[in-house]
Amino acid sequence: MRPKRPGRREGLKTRDSHKYSTQMARVLCSGSFMCDLIAPDLPRLGEPGDLIYAPKGIDLHPGGHAANVAISLAQLGRKGVAVAGSIGDDILGDFMEAELRKNGLQVYPERLRIPTSKNIVLIIKGEDRRFYAQLAANTMLTPGHVLKALEETRPEILYQGTIGGLRLIDGELDTILSRAREMGCLTMVDVIRPHEEGWRRLHESLPLIDILHCNGYESEALTGEADPAAAAGTLLKKGVRLCLVTLGSEGLVAAWGETRLRLPAFKVEEVDQTGAGDAFCAGVIDAFLQEGIDRNNLDSLTLSKVKPVLLRGSAAGAACVTASGATTAVIPRKVDVLIQEQGEKVWAETLRL
């Protein structure tokens, strides 16, 4: 039996593993923390009673949208990255916190009396991933915890991920985004297929979102528009300033103002798609910081200004899928080589819709 930790309190929360003290950050990533157990390149799904050996092993990685984006930013060389999420007061929670700190991140973990969330990813060779996720501590991040981290870090960019899957944050998203706007933060929101209440409150918060990232399935679910460009246009009309719809091997759609672009994807050998959208978000944030784009000049984006943003985001997402794990391959060497070798071709084949 695991020994009782010192400092436990009655109720859901346990000890504060981070003593808050003002430490400015350029980016605060908020959202889910999960432990990913990934079995890549499996020959087949087992039948009842079968034993299937994993030819490339079974890997344990820190995961969840906030963790993935923050780690990817750190690996791309960004300093001053903070990350907030909820974990259990258990051995996997210890693993998550240690891995995040090992990557040089400012970690704001909310420790709870429920298990750290786990996600089993089975990848059958030649097929899309199968996810078996446990909804536990990752869904219970509280608005107060995020607001406290926001006040302590006072970032230039707030990335709020996992919207649709955070039971307490989803209903208070407008409160968090309003405070971020008051502080002058550029806000980026990333959505997932909704759980429980769904996206009802997200629609109310769209005017507070500077950048919205979603995939094609999510953009259709949000708007009823099957065409990604039409969906992005609808989201702009509802208040989003820049809409980015990623489409996997089919590239992406970017929309702002009256501009609609369709970029093809970078060509890579795919191993594991886990975390590709998170890597894309990290690449976009990295380029925003590099190019000096903030919420004050977002409406005046030019093609020359948005080009490095979209190429770096797309290249980071493409690099991600070349190795097992959500962040393993999101490193400057791989991202920069993709841009150097394919960037101009990708941009030349970009369509203005």
Q: What is the pLDDT of residues 171-218, one digit of tens each?
A: 999 999 999 999 999 999 999 988 766 677 899 999 999 999 999 999
Under 8 Å between Cβ of 329 and 323: yes
User: Domain 27-32+65-115+136-352 is of which CATH architecture?
Assistant: 3-Layer(aba) Sandwich (3.40)
pLDDT reported for residue 2: 44
Torsion of CA 346, 244, 137, 140, to 10 degrees: 170
As given in the structure block, the two tokens for residue 133 are: 């996720």
Encode pLDDT of 245-291 as tens digits. Answer: 999 999 999 999 999 999 999 999 988 888 999 999 999 999 999 99
pLDDT reported for residue 16: 53
Least confident of 22-26, 118-122, 291-295, 303-307: 22-26
Encode pLDDT of 283-316 as tens digits. Answer: 999 999 999 999 999 989 999 999 999 999 999 9
pLDDT reported for residue 294: 93
Encode pLDDT of 145-175 as tens digits. Answer: 999 999 999 999 999 999 999 999 999 999 9
Q: Tell me what the pLDDT averaged over the chain comes to.
A: 92
The domain segmentation of the chain, as residue ranges, is 27-32+65-115+136-352
Q: Within 10 A of 118 (CB to CB), how many other CB atoms are there?
A: 18
pLDDT reported for residue 266: 98
Phi/psi at 340 (5° precision): -65, -40
Under 8 Å between Cβ of 264 and 346: yes
Q: Report whether pLDDT(12) > 60.
A: no
C-alpha span between 103 and 324 (Å, rounded): 18
Confidence of residue 137 (pLDDT cuts 50, 70, 90): very high
Q: Report whether pLDDT(109) > 90.
A: yes
